[in-house]
């Protein structure tokens, strides 16, 4: 995208996005050379904060020696990071699970995903996914764990079932709500709600496979099934590279405990095993559900009153439960790595570990929980459902022996939607043009030319407020959320909460030097150009979605009545009503004779080039673009005549005003179409109109 003005140049210099020519997607690059295409495992956990992992934040609390700071241990993840690469600026697509996972699976931002905001169980588009891309490259594809983007119909199968989105095999929870319970058979927490929500079900492909799952804690269950599936791929008669999407549902929601200690050793012969016997399907399906606390935490104490002279206080049980849940995931990761080593697959398998959003305040137990106890949000402000860093930035690690240098730290900003183009490059295919991300392979391996990035974009809408935690900055505490957007460009992060219009100002932070977003630079004159640029990007980065509307989507209409001899300047007339419509012709059908509309807003032009506009109507209309009259269909206009105009436009937003007069001799009709670079004649849709 070329910069077209001194204003854009100024903003580019401020944000550090020179050189001037910046491609938005990955350049053609060769796949990494290996004897065979590498296997890929993506481990996604639920509601784990950036600060919950030892190597990211907890180890610092331990090393401080400060007994007022309780800490967790994640030895396997720490080893994972030491042997691979740690992303310190990796972002989710949304601060809530369904939207975050939809963008990951389809490689698009929330500006282009069809699952946005809090649209749980909505079917993701029938389009490219991580699985369809890798299956095209010859991979066996499996999904195990929480899905939640399938569509509401479960019987006989959901419209966006994993098997209809590129996966060859699926085992897990389809419904989002089922992922709140970690004992599918016993339903320890949801038993009383089963009549209301229906029984929890674990599906294997299209079959309900819940009945034999006595005492199966889901972290253990999904790990055991993943190990079985990986082993089956390694032992298959026809060898294929494999892709596994392992989507855990912990430590999210009800903080239930395992039945017993994690089995020793790990790998092919040890660790979690799939037994396959009804009533004893996995190696830990015995003992007492919701009973076992990790011994590192069972007797843990801390200095709760900041007085070393008084006895320390035991951790509240809810935090023993949380730390045990996180440690169980850590054990699972170590078990899977040992399996890859036992199967001689380790050197040819890329493994990614990540979380779907920031930490939560949900325990679903009688005792409340707060991420303050472990500082699960790390050095940031914000939690799940916030667009502050603590809601968006999550712990992400990648490991691929002999390809990713050990101990690598990647500070360059990246996001969940980058993994689809990354995996495409790993597999030797170009990324689909629909993908919004860039390949992270050069950053991971240290070889190849990285693709420059322009900016990262987020949007989300939810009720509630940022928690009033004392460690959060005063302007963030109790901040009303509502309609939110965020943009990161270079080291600048722009955030706006509870926005009402496209002209609402962003808070602006130098995020590299100010990770808590404590110093708002929006009032600094040096950032005035950046403010303008961020407002433009907020409109340009997204496609409007009527099921997830933003305050400025659509076009503004004002309604008038009168017998007009020509198309009047309605802006000077007294109106009867006004509102917002998704498209230009939405209000036309209901018009009475002798009436009119003034339609005003912005046209989003996708790229530089020549555009032809076509207008036809029943009585008369005048279309202005900026201050220029583009089409005059007034004096001597014949009903339904198509008037055209061709104009060269730069990419971006262009103000339009359409004065439309409806008489009484013909039915109300108004059509406005366009064509331009890369597309044929079509109506001006909701995706390109803003007010």
* C-alpha angle 127-133-138 in degrees, rounded to nearest 5: 140
Share of the chain above pLDDT 70, in %: 94
Beta bridge partners of 488: 456, 493
> Which has more confidence, 568 or 19?
568
If one counts every other C-beta atom within 10 angstroms of the C-beta of residue 329, the result is 25
CATH T-level topology, domain 37-444: Alkaline Phosphatase, subunit A (3.40.720)
**CATH 3.30.1120 matches 458-540:** yes
Q: Which of 61, 104, 176 is nearest to 394 (CA)?
A: 104
pTM for this model (two decimals): 0.86
Fold agreement (37-444, 555-690): no
pLDDT digits (tens, 9 = 90+) for 284-296: 999 999 999 999 9
Mean pLDDT of 638-661: 92
pLDDT digits (tens, 9 = 90+) for 133-154: 999 999 999 999 999 999 987 7
Share of the chain above pLDDT 90, in %: 78
pLDDT of residue 543: 81
pLDDT tier at 545 (50, 70, 90 boundaries)?
Answer: confident
Mean pLDDT of 159-188: 94
If one counts every other C-beta atom within 10 angstroms of the C-beta of residue 262, the result is 22
Residues 557-587: b if buried by 16+ CB within 10 A, e if exposed: bbbbbeebeebbebeebeeeeeebbbbbbbb
Distance between CA atoms of 346 and 308, rounded to whole angstroms? 47
pLDDT of residue 35: 52
Q: Residue by residue, what is the 3-state secondary structure of 553-619?
A: ECEEEEEEECCCCCCCCHHHCCCCEEEEECCCCCCHHHCCCCEEEEEEEEEEECCCEEEEEEEEECC
Distance between CA atoms of 449 and 135, rounded to whole angstroms? 26
Counting other chains too, the contacts that 134-138 makes at CB distance below 8 Å and 24 or more residues apart are 134/40, 134/166, 134/243, 134/423, 134/427, 135/166, 135/168, 136/429, 137/37, 137/241, 137/424, 137/427, 137/428, 137/429, 138/37, 138/240, 138/241, 138/427
pLDDT tier at 195 (50, 70, 90 boundaries)?
Answer: low
pLDDT of residue 29: 40
- Taking each helix axis as running N to C, give the angle between helix 317-342 and helix 75-82, from 0 to 180 degrees, rounded to the nearest 10: 40
Give the gyration radius of the chain's Cα atoms: 28
pLDDT of residue 20: 24
Q: Where are the domains of the chain?
A: 37-444, 458-540, 555-690
Four-point Cα dihedral 493, 497, 501, 504, nearest 10: -50
Mean pLDDT of 534-551: 85
Q: Is the separation of the CB atoms in 392 and 65 below 8 Å?
A: no
Strands 85-87 and 408-410: parallel
The helix/strand count (H/E) of the chain reads as 13, 31
DSSP 406-426: TTEEE-S-EEGGGHHHHHHHH
For CA atoms 487, 16, 440, 135, the dihedral sign is positive
For residue 438, what are the CA distances in angstroms to 28, 151, 453?
11, 29, 8
- Taking each helix axis as running N to C, give the angle between helix 218-235 and helix 317-342, from 0 to 180 degrees, rounded to the nearest 10: 10
**C-alpha 612: how far from its chain's center?**
36
pLDDT of residue 588: 86
- Three-state DSSP class for residue 351: strand
**C-alpha 506: how far from its chain's center?**
21
For residue 607, what are the CA distances in angstroms to 262, 613, 651, 687, 690?
55, 15, 4, 14, 17
Encoded tokens for 310: 């008084």
Distance between CA atoms of 380 and 473, rounded to whole angstroms? 10
Residues 180-197: b if buried by 16+ CB within 10 A, e if exposed: bbbbbbbbebbeeeeeee
Helices (H), 245-309: 295-298
Least confident piece of the model among 21-25, 167-171, 243-247, 416-420: 21-25
CATH code of the region 555-690: 2.60.120.1560
Distance between CA atoms of 567 and 194, rounded to whole angstroms? 62
List of residues 6+ apart from 11 with CB closer than 8 A = 529, 530, 532, 533
Q: Which of 533, 638, 611 is nearest to 4 (CA)?
A: 533
Mean pLDDT of 468-487: 97
Residue 10 confidence (pLDDT) above 60: no
Mean pLDDT of 510-521: 98
pLDDT digits (tens, 9 = 90+) for 564-610: 999 988 888 888 998 888 777 778 888 999 999 999 988 888 889 99
**ω before 601 within 30° of 0 (cis)?**
no
pLDDT of residue 607: 86
Tell me the pLDDT of the chain averaged across its residues: 91
């Amino acid at each position: 995208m070329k910069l077209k003005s001194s204003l854009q140049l100024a903003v580019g210099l401020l944000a550090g996005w020179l050189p001037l020519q910046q491609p938005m997607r990955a350049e053609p690059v060769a796949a990494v050379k290996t004897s065979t295409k590498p296997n890929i495992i993506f481990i996604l956990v639920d509601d784990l904060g950036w600060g919950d992992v030892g190597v990211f934040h907890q180890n610092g609390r331990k090393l401080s020696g400060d007994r007022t700071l309780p800490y967790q241990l994640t030895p396997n993840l720490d080893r994972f990071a030491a042997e691979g690469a740690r992303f310190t600026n990796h972002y989710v697509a949304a601060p809530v699970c369904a939207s975050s996972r939809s963008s990951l699976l389809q490689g698009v931002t929330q500006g282009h995903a069809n699952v946005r905001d809090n649209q749980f169980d909505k079917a993701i588009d029938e389009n490219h996914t991580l699985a369809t891309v890798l299956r095209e490259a010859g991979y066996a594809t499996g999904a195990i764990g929480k899905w939640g983007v399938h569509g509401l119909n479960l019987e006989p199968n959901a419209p966006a079932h994993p098997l209809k989105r590129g996966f060859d095999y699926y085992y897990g929870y389809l419904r989002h709500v089922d992922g709140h319970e970690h004992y599918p058979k016993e339903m320890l927490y949801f038993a009383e709600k089963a009549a209301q929500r229906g029984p929890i079900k674990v599906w294997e492909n299209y079959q309900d496979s819940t009945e034999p799952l006595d005492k199966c804690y889901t972290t253990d269950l999904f790990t055991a099934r993943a190990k079985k599936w990986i082993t089956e791929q390694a032992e298959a008669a026809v060898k294929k590279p494999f892709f596994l999407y392992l989507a855990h549902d912990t430590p999210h929601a009800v903080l239930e405990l395992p039945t017993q200690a994690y089995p020793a050793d790990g790998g092919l012969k040890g660790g979690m095993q799939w037994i396959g016997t009804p009533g004893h399907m996995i190696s830990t399906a015995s003992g007492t559900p919701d009973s076992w606390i990790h011994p590192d935490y069972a007797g843990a104490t801390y200095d709760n009153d900041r007085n070393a002279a008084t006895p320390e206080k035991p951790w509240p049980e809810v935090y023993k439960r949380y730390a045990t849940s996180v440690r169980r995931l850590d054990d699972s990761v170590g078990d899977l790595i040992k399996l890859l080593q036992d199967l001689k697959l380790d050197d040819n398998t890329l493994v990614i570990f990540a979380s779907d959003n920031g930490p939560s305040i949900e325990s679903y137990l009688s005792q409340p929980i707060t991420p303050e106890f472990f500082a699960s949000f790390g050095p940031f402000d914000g939690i799940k459902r916030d667009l502050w860093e603590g809601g968006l930035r999550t712990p992400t690690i990648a490991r691929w022996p002999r390809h990713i240098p050990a101990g690598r730290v990647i500070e360059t900003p990246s996001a969940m939607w980058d993994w689809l183009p990354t995996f495409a490059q790993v597999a030797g295919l170009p990324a689909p043009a629909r993908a919004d991300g860039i390949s992270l392979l050069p950053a991971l391996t240290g070889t190849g030319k990285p693709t420059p990035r322009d900016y990262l974009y987020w949007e989300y809408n939810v009720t509630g407020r940022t928690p009033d935690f004392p460690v959060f900055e005063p302007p963030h505490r109790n901040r009303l959320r509502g309609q939110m957007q965020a943009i990161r460009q270079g080291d600048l992060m722009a955030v706006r909460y509870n926005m009402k219009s496209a002209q609402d100002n962003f808070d602006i932070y130098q995020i590299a030097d100010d990770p808590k977003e404590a110093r708002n630079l929006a009032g600094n004159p040096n950032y005035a150009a950046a403010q303008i640029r961020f407002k433009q990007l907020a409109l340009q980065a997204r496609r409007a979605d009527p099921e997830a509307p933003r305050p400025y989507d659509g076009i503004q209409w004002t309604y008038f009545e009168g017998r007009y001899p020509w198309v009047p300047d309605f802006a000077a007339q007294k109106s009867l009503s006004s509102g917002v419509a998704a498209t230009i012709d939405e209000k036309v059908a209901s018009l009475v004779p002798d009436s009119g509309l003034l339609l005003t807003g912005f046209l989003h032009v996708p790229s530089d080039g020549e555009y032809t506009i076509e207008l036809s109507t029943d009585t008369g209309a005048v279309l202005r673009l900026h201050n220029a009259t583009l089409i005059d269909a007034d004096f001597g206009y014949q009903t339904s005549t198509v008037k055209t105009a061709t104009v060269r436009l730069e990419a971006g937003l262009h103000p339009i005003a359409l004065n439309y007069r409806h008489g009484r001799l013909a039915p109300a009709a108004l059509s406005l179409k366009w064509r331009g670079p890369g597309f044929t004649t079509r109506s001006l849709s909701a995706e390109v109109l803003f007010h």
